[in-house]
Structure 1
């Protein structure tokens, strides 16, 4: 499982994961990155927990 990382200049957390080699030609990237839109670790885990609970229903 990947964990969020904090950008050194902005302080915003990002999600980053490598794309499997078999899908790189289809997706066109070797790595997937997305902003988690927060610089507060507590808020990050609150959003993640709420998102996973809402997606489960």
Structure 2
């Protein structure tokens, strides 16, 4: 029979409760990610418009 080590006996732990700080951090990160996505889309749209305007001005 094999010997069991202390770490092999009770390795499964349930999910930890989310603390108030964890919840706040998760929400703030989600908001920041959404705002960054909107900002990147706006910048891409403006760059495309500027490129098209420059192309039209050159011709």
Q: After TM superposition, is the score higher than 0.5?
A: no
Higher relative contact order (CA 8 A, sep 6+): 1
Which structure: larger Rg?
2
Of Structure 1 and Structure 2, the greater strand share is in 1
Compute the TM-score of the two structures, normalised by the length of structure 2.
0.31
